[in-house]
Amino acid sequence: MGVLLMGKSGSGKTSMRSIIFANYIARDTRRLGATIDVEHSHVRFLGNLVLNLWDCGGQEVFMENYISSQRDQIFRNVEVLIYVFDVESRDMERDMHYFQSVLESIGQHSPKAKIFCLVHKMDLIPDGQRGQLMLEREADLKRRATTPMAMTVFGTSIWDETLYKAWSAIVHSLIPNVRMLESHLGVFCAEAGADEVILFERTTFLVISHATSHAQTDPHRFEKVSNIIKQFKLSCSKSQAQFQTMEICTPTFSAFIQGFTPNTYAMVVHSDRDIQPGIMIININRARPSFE
């Protein structure tokens, strides 16, 4: 099973994957068909899941070729398709035509795949116009599917937290038994007397799931934390170090982050500032077996 990231040249795929996957990407060049060399890269995350990145390229010959003759190889066993659109593309009709061909191939070879469309570079659109534009794009994209498909559309930009939000939703959709995970997390949060417990995927630090017992004010807090920790992890890796745990103390809350399962980190947040880090560690260790 794999994840396919596609979109026209220049739509922002490379920027996106280097933000989400940083330096975890393995690159290789594969020969598709007789004459076409395609850059293919892949990354492993969530344990065994492979994210395959194929560049659709801008050239029509290439596009037609790989959609017509290489369908089996590319479109088989796709669990999730992520298709990136440049919001300012000058040729939306052609973009839509490619997208439609890809949908047809997916419908044929991986009919159960979930589709995520990212209308990217939204920062180029004035704030007040984004809502309306997204409504129109979403309706248009959904019309393109000729067979019933689960399709979700996000507006994204590398300049704010929307990219993390969209990718977290994608990762969330790939987790097996996600309901069970959520219910375990609820129990963990209640038993630890925490305000919130958040689960992050290890490679990307994207939020997989969370349990909240006290209403929180900032709706973008998950994406912000993902971003901050990711930067920190990168700084650590530059000095060949890896962080194991992190403790954050502020005047209003304490938080503790620790490796949890082989594929995740857990973050426990308490508004009770007197809580000892040792207690948080005990709580995390106690909860771990029900997640493994």
Position 7 contacts ligand GTP (CB under 6 A): yes
By beta-carbon distance, which residue lies closest to ligand GTP? Answer: 14
Position 160 contacts ligand GTP (CB under 6 A): no
Phi-psi region of 113 (alpha: psi -120 to 50; beta: other; left: phi over 0): beta
Smallest gap from Cβ 122 to ligand GTP, in A, equals 7
Binding mask 102-141 for ligand GTP (x = CB under 6 A): ------------------xx-xx-----------------
d(CA 207, CA 204): 9
DSSP reduced 3-state for 219: coil
Smallest gap from Cβ 163 to ligand GTP, in A, equals 7
H or E element at residue 126: none
Position 11 contacts ligand GTP (CB under 6 A): yes
d(CA 239, CA 228): 17
Contact yes or no for 165/154 (Cβ under 8 A): yes
**Which of these, 117, 206, 124, 131, lies nearest to 157 by C-alpha position?**
124
d(CA 46, CA 264): 8
Smallest gap from Cβ 215 to ligand GTP, in A, equals 31
Position 9 contacts ligand GTP (CB under 6 A): yes
Name the residue nearer to ligand GTP (CB basis): 11 or 264.
11
Position 12 contacts ligand GTP (CB under 6 A): yes
d(CA 225, CA 227): 5
**Could you say which of 22, 92, 158, 281 contacts ligand GTP (CB under 6 A)?**
158
**Which of these, 172, 153, 163, lies nearest to 49 by C-alpha position?**
172
Position 15 contacts ligand GTP (CB under 6 A): yes
**Could you say which of 55, 161, 196, 201 contacts ligand GTP (CB under 6 A)?**
55
